[in-house]
A and B are shown apart, each in its own frame.
Chain A
Amino acid sequence: MRPMSMQTNKLIKYRALFRISFKDLLTWGWEAVLSSLMLMLYAVIAIIVWIAIYSFTGVKSINGVGLTSTIIYFAIISALMPFLSWSNTVDRLSSDIRDGDIASSLIRPMSYYFKIFFEGVSGSVFNLAVSIAVIALVIHFGGLTPSVYTYAMFAFYFIIGFLMAELLGFIIGSLAIYLTDIYGIMVSINWMITIIGGGMIPLVFFPAFIEKVLLLTPFPFLAFVPAATLSGVISVGESFGLAAIGLAWLAALAIIAYVMWIKLKTRINAVGI
């Protein structure tokens, strides 16, 4: 078989997996919409809290960020949260490891990682539609006029964030081979995204030194960096400066995920754990 047709064959398989998962998701369409809305509620709480704080403090801006920018920032966060949800990958991988289904998946003529990636992407595509709709509303009603560069940087961080979330999900899911319960790690990572990733507090509200340190971690790329770029909380120039850190973390997470996968393969068994 020629290499080209092999590639085409693989793509057809993954496309089929994606289509099946997407149809499955649409069967429970209302549940998916409800999940997105629930995830958005966290940002709504943050918006109400910060409106109360700005009103009570009576200032036009906090650390250079006005109330309108803060509201827009959290509205964008609310749009990002459903899209950057990584728990599907964790659930799929950890349950496959526990039940031993991963062993039968490995003998199939396709990469296991791409299998769960494409199955998970179906949910992300659904959430992407919700995210784009919310972001479009935020841009329209928030009176935002982002430049082409802002859009480009936002799209870049949107993709980086999505890939990071998928890799984090894969790494955490892989830990199911060592731990009897990975729920605690999921809780910790969610906490990190919420607090030190900018999910509840824009990082510019932290003292400057702490903000700089936090921006060296991967978590702000899942919430703060894309939302702050589009809302104008950070300038395009500052945002551009963070690209190298984002790419470095993406590469690091990819390497960690790969190493975990190699180690995982040597411990997998068909009866589960």
Chain B
Amino acid sequence: MSGIEDLARNFALYINSQKYGFKEFMVYRAQAISWILIQSLGAVSTLIMVSVIYSVSSGVPGWGYFQLLALGGLVQLTSGMISFLISPRTLVRIMRNGGLDQLLLKPYNPALMIIARNAGIRSLGGAVSGALLLAYALHGAGVGLGAMLIFIPSYLIGLVALVMGVMVLALVSYVLFKDASYTNWLMNIMFDASDYPATIYGIIGSTALSILLPVTFAVFFPAAAVFGYVSAYVVLGVVLVCIAIAVMFYLSSGYLLRKYESGGG
């Protein structure tokens, strides 16, 4: 089977599993709508927080109102996408109960199977509200098409690196603790911290937000690039680092998956 055919087959599986997941989510319609509204509270809280900050002060060093709002919107979008694509707590719970036994026997990519199986459809509300906030802020900041052409690819590559990073962190949590509650918690704290430019946390904070999980690569650098706070060379460097991280994490996830204990445990 050629590489393209294989890719198309895996892609079709992913799309079908998402369609199924969405229909399952919509069975309890009232609950689904309430979930979408609840998930959008993150974007509302970002809007309130940033508005209060700029109403009483000059704001965060170097960043204007719409710029900080865009960063917050991007964090909400990313956090929603990550929750949609992979939840460490759910993944480890499935693994602990032996839930990957059948999954790994299927003739599809194991990493994709895990992502397809873990889909948190309800988190899409957070991603959509984050995207709306981001669009509003980018419009308010007067961002042009040229900047968007740099922003979109750098963000998508950063997001891939982040998804693979979260998967590796979840698998490490499984191998070491057989539990990922704290991993989820830590991830949420890192997203909360990323609502503000990484530069305010100093070298230690920024490094933690980049190494523990590549959150700054997915959020801070693309936002800084779109507003011209980093040069084209830095953007290129970040993209290359993200590609390297994604490949490294992908290979690591394959290795860590071999530590999975069939039948639970």
Q: What is the interface of chain A, defined by CB distance below 8 A to chain B?
A: 34, 38, 41-42, 45, 48-49, 52-59, 62-63, 179-181, 184-185, 187-188, 191, 194-195, 200-201, 205-207
Q: In the bound complex, do residue B189 and residue A38 qualify as a contact, i.e. CB atoms below 8 Å apart? A: yes
Q: In the bound complex, do residue B196 and residue A201 qualify as a contact, i.e. CB atoms below 8 Å apart? A: no
Given the interface pairs A49-B200, A180-B28, A191-B41, the reply to whether A55 lies near B61 with Cβ below 8 Å is yes
State whether the Cβ of B152 lies closer than 8 Å to any Cβ in chain A: no
Q: In the bound complex, do residue A52 and residue B60 qualify as a contact, i.e. CB atoms below 8 Å apart? A: yes
Q: In the bound complex, do residue B193 and residue A45 qualify as a contact, i.e. CB atoms below 8 Å apart? A: yes
Given the interface pairs A38-B185, A45-B193, the reply to whether A53 lies near B41 with Cβ below 8 Å is no
Q: In the bound complex, do residue B49 and residue A48 qualify as a contact, i.e. CB atoms below 8 Å apart? A: no
**How many angstroms between the C-alpha atoms of A199 and B31 in the bound complex?**
28
A59 to chain B, nearest CB (A): 7
State whether the Cβ of B35 lies closer than 8 Å to any Cβ in chain A: yes
State whether the Cβ of B2 lies closer than 8 Å to any Cβ in chain A: no
Q: In the bound complex, do residue A187 and residue B192 qualify as a contact, i.e. CB atoms below 8 Å apart? A: no
Closest chain A residue to B122, Cβ basis: A184
Q: What is the interface of chain B, defined by CB distance below 8 A to chain A?
A: 28, 31, 34-35, 38, 41-42, 45, 48-49, 52-53, 55-62, 182, 185-186, 189, 192-193, 196, 200-201, 205
Q: Which residues of B contact A59 (CB under 8 A)?
A: 57
**How many angstroms between the C-alpha atoms of A62 and B62 in the bound complex?**
19
Q: Which residues of A contact B62 (CB under 8 A)?
A: 56
- Greatest chain B CB density within 10 A among A34, A38, A48, A52 is at A52
**How many angstroms between the C-alpha atoms of A111 and B216 in the bound complex?**
51
Q: In the bound complex, do residue B186 and residue A48 qualify as a contact, i.e. CB atoms below 8 Å apart? A: no
**How many angstroms between the C-alpha atoms of A17 and B45 in the bound complex?**
39
Q: In the bound complex, do residue A49 and residue B186 qualify as a contact, i.e. CB atoms below 8 Å apart? A: no
Q: Which residues of B contact A48 (CB under 8 A)?
A: 200-201, 205
Give me 17 A-to-B residue pairs in the complex whose CB atoms sit less than 8 angstroms apart, sorted by A's number: A38-B185, A38-B189, A45-B192, A49-B60, A52-B200, A53-B59, A53-B60, A55-B61, A56-B58, A56-B62, A57-B59, A58-B58, A181-B31, A187-B38, A195-B45, A195-B49, A200-B45
Q: Which residues of B contact A187 (CB under 8 A)?
A: 38, 41
Q: Which residues of B contact A205 (CB under 8 A)?
A: 52, 56
State which of B28, B42, B189 has its C-beta within 8 Å of the C-beta of A45.
B189
Given the interface pairs A184-B34, A188-B38, A188-B41, the reply to whether A206 lies near B60 with Cβ below 8 Å is no
Q: In the bound complex, do residue A53 and residue B52 qualify as a contact, i.e. CB atoms below 8 Å apart? A: no
**How many angstroms between the C-alpha atoms of A38 and B182 in the bound complex?**
9
Q: In the bound complex, do residue B45 and residue A191 qualify as a contact, i.e. CB atoms below 8 Å apart? A: yes
Q: Which residues of B contact A207 (CB under 8 A)?
A: 55
Q: In the bound complex, do residue A184 and residue B38 qualify as a contact, i.e. CB atoms below 8 Å apart? A: yes
**How many angstroms between the C-alpha atoms of A184 and B126 in the bound complex?**
12
Q: In the bound complex, do residue B49 and residue A201 qualify as a contact, i.e. CB atoms below 8 Å apart? A: yes
Q: Which residues of A contact B185 (CB under 8 A)?
A: 38
State which of A38, A58, A185, A191 has its C-beta within 8 Å of the C-beta of B186.
A38
State which of A42, A62, A179 has its C-beta within 8 Å of the C-beta of B31.
A179
B41 to chain A, nearest CB (A): 5
**How many angstroms between the C-alpha atoms of A108 and B62 in the bound complex?**
63
Q: In the bound complex, do residue A53 and residue B53 qualify as a contact, i.e. CB atoms below 8 Å apart? A: yes
Closest chain A residue to B62, Cβ basis: A56
Q: In the bound complex, do residue A56 and residue B56 qualify as a contact, i.e. CB atoms below 8 Å apart? A: no
Q: Which residues of B contact A34 (CB under 8 A)?
A: 182
Q: In the bound complex, do residue B61 and residue A195 qualify as a contact, i.e. CB atoms below 8 Å apart? A: no
A172 to chain B, nearest CB (A): 13
Q: Which residues of A contact B41 (CB under 8 A)?
A: 187-188, 191
**How many angstroms between the C-alpha atoms of A52 and B205 in the bound complex?**
13
Q: Which residues of B contact A45 (CB under 8 A)?
A: 189, 192-193, 196
Q: In the bound complex, do residue A56 and residue B28 qualify as a contact, i.e. CB atoms below 8 Å apart? A: no
Q: Which residues of A contact B196 (CB under 8 A)?
A: 45, 49, 52
Q: In the bound complex, do residue B60 and residue A56 qualify as a contact, i.e. CB atoms below 8 Å apart? A: yes
Closest chain B residue to A210, Cβ basis: B52
Q: In the bound complex, do residue B61 and residue A180 qualify as a contact, i.e. CB atoms below 8 Å apart? A: no
Q: Which residues of A contact B38 (CB under 8 A)?
A: 184-185, 187-188
**How many angstroms between the C-alpha atoms of A198 and B149 in the bound complex?**
39
**How many angstroms between the C-alpha atoms of A205 and B59 in the bound complex?**
13
**How many angstroms between the C-alpha atoms of A188 and B39 in the bound complex?**
9
Q: Which residues of B contact A180 (CB under 8 A)?
A: 28, 31
**How many angstroms between the C-alpha atoms of A45 and B58 in the bound complex?**
19
Q: In the bound complex, do residue B31 and residue A56 qualify as a contact, i.e. CB atoms below 8 Å apart? A: no
**The 5 residue pairs across chains A and B that have the minimum distance between CB atoms:** A52-B200, A57-B57, A56-B61, A184-B38, A57-B58
Q: In the bound complex, do residue B48 and residue A195 qualify as a contact, i.e. CB atoms below 8 Å apart? A: yes
Q: Which residues of A contact B57 (CB under 8 A)?
A: 53-54, 56-57, 59, 62
